[in-house]
Amino acid sequence: MDLEVNLQANIKNSSTPSPFGKVLIYTTGGLALGVSVICIPFVSPAFRKFCLPYVPATNNQLHGVTTALKGRTGRLLDVGSGDGRIVFTAARLGFKADGVELNLILVYYSRLASILNNQYNKTKFYRCNLWKFDLVPYNNIVIFGVEQMMQEFEKKLLREVNDGTVVVACRFPLPNMVPIETIGHGVDTVWKYVVKR
- The answer to whether the beta carbons of residues 146 and 51 sit under 8 Å apart is yes
- What does the domain layout of the chain look like in residue ranges? 2-47, 59-194
Q: Which CATH architecture has domain 59-194?
A: 3-Layer(aba) Sandwich (3.40)
Count of alpha carbons within 13 angstroms of residue 32, beta-carbon side: 6
Per residue in 67-119, pLDDT tens?
Answer: 999 999 999 999 999 999 999 999 999 999 999 999 999 999 999 999 999 88
pTM of the predicted protein model: 0.73
Residue pLDDT, tens place only, 13-56: 555 667 776 676 667 766 665 665 565 555 444 444 444 567 78
Q: What is the DSSP string of 103-160?
A: -HHHHHHHHHHHHH-GGGTT-EEEE--GGGS--TT-SEEEEE--GGGHHHHHHHHHHH
